[in-house]
Amino acid sequence: MLDLLSRREFLTSAAVGAAAASARHIPYPMRPPRALPPPSRWAAKPVAVASANGLRAVQKAFDLLMQGADTLDAVIEGVKIQELDPNDDSVGYGGLPNADGVVQLDASCMHGPTKRAGAVGALEGIKTPSEVAKLVLKYTNHIFLVGEGAKRFALQYGFKEEDLLTEHAREVWLHWRANLNPNDDYLDVPEGEHMTARPTGTINCDAVTPQGDLSSVTTTSGLAFKIPGRVGDSPLIGAGQYTDNDIGAAGSTGRGESNIKVCGGFLTVEHMRRGMKPTDACLETLKRVVKATETRLLDERGRPRFSLQFYAVNKRGEFGAASLYPGRFAAHDGTEAKLMDTAYLYERPAASR
Ligand code: GLY
């Protein structure tokens, strides 16, 4: 073989072989990986976009796209890196818990080629809700499973029930509880040790294959210290993410309640349907969010006291992101996985409440 191939070709084919093996080991694949057509016959510029915590996700998703993996398989394998990372306290294992100290996870996904959707809400004990959402999409006549039923469903497919509350997340929750109410029986923890904000972290990832097939996924542990049972925008099809294989895919991170009211994932795709570029579509959706925001959440200049971001890719592989205030997002467009600046509506954040 080495007689026939140059050393460079040999190394390249070995790397492709190893990489293709990783595409072949995707659990519950939508379809096995397929050889890509030559670039001259590509219908789209392949791309993966994600929230700023998704640098590893876009790298993984893009690598899988290049190995001929299915579009949804690629983005799910991408966001799973974050779900399994105990150091990301906004997603999956290690996510910050609800007010009772219990980690409840939300996720949803859409698969453009088959026009299917799947979601789970308030899922406990399973590290990778995005994967469970994919199984709802692939194996059921339903779209959305919640709570105990979602967990039982996951266990039936071989997922392991685990304690998702890491030491770090438990400590943050204990501090939050201690400082919640000066009249309760918990003594306040000293200044400087307690939480100053209630983080909402989430990861959204959207991708288009060289054949122009699209998908989206969003996964989160939701608003830290939420009322038990609260689900945000992430598991809601049309809010946390949305895909139309003829048009594009979009998703969101940030304050879920504000996104839910405008169905932001769907709205962003609809803006693209009317001809807007992805970045403009995201900005237009944010303008709608501001219009729909109640006064208590606006500062004296009418600026939202929360953060919200949208990410989008269209069928040709154009992509973009926008936020209320300056921010970053992750993208891989064939050159490298990189962080880029979002477009934004306002220069400086309003003080949060
Ligand atoms: N966007 C995540 C949440 O609000 O739960």
Mean pLDDT of the chain: 90
| Predicted local distance difference test score (pLDDT) of residue 140 | 98
Query: What is the rounded distance in angstroms from the CA atom of residue 273 to the CA atom of residue 250?
Result: 12
| Predicted local distance difference test score (pLDDT) of residue 18 | 52
| Predicted local distance difference test score (pLDDT) of residue 142 | 98
Q: Where does 47-344 sit in CATH, by number?
A: 3.60.20.30
Lowest-pLDDT range, 46-55, 90-99, 111-120, 178-187? 178-187
| Predicted local distance difference test score (pLDDT) of residue 317 | 97
User: Would the pLDDT of 52 be above 80?
Assistant: yes
**pTM for this predicted structure:** 0.90
- Rounded to the nearest whole angstrom, what is the distance from the C-alpha of residue 272 to the centroid of ligand 1? 23
- Rounded to the nearest whole angstrom, what is the distance from the C-alpha of residue 320 to the centroid of ligand 1? 20
User: Would the pLDDT of 23 be above 60?
Assistant: yes
Q: Which residues are catalytic?
A: 202
Lowest-pLDDT range, 63-72, 199-208, 216-225? 199-208
Contacts of residue 229, Cβ cutoff 8 Å, sequence gap at least 6: 104, 122, 147
26 vs 10 pLDDT, higher one = 26
Alpha carbons within 13 A on the beta-carbon side of 314 = 19
Beta strands 248-254 and 319-323, pairing class: unpaired
Angle at 293 between CA 289 and CA 295, to 5 degrees: 155
- Rounded to the nearest whole angstrom, what is the distance from the C-alpha of residue 256 to the centroid of ligand 1? 4
Residue of 98, 259, 307 to mutate, ligand 1, most atoms within 8 A of C-beta: 259
Residue-wise pLDDT for 102-161, tens only, equals: 999 999 999 999 999 999 999 999 999 999 999 999 999 999 999 999 999 999 999 999
The residue extents of the domains of the chain are 47-344
Q: b/e for 287-296, b at 16 or more Cβ within 10 A?
A: ebbbeebeee
Nearest to 18 by CA among 82, 70, 73, 66: 66
Ligand 1, atom 1: nearest CA belongs to which residue?
256
Question: Is 200 close to ligand 1, i.e. is its CB under 6 Å away?
Answer: yes
> What pairs with residue 146 in β-bridges?
121
Question: Is 220 close to ligand 1, i.e. is its CB under 6 Å away?
Answer: yes
Question: Is 202 close to ligand 1, i.e. is its CB under 6 Å away?
Answer: yes
Ligand 1 atom with least separation from CA of 222: 5
Query: What is the rounded distance in angstroms from the CA atom of residue 270 to the CA atom of residue 285?
Result: 10
Ligand 1, atom 4: nearest CA belongs to which residue?
256
Ligand 1 atom with least separation from CA of 232: 5
Ligand 1 atom with least separation from CA of 201: 2
DSSP-assigned states of every residue in 183-251: TSSSPPPPTTTS-SS--EEEEEEEEE-TT--EEEEEEEEEETTPPTT---STTSBTTTEEEETTTEEEE
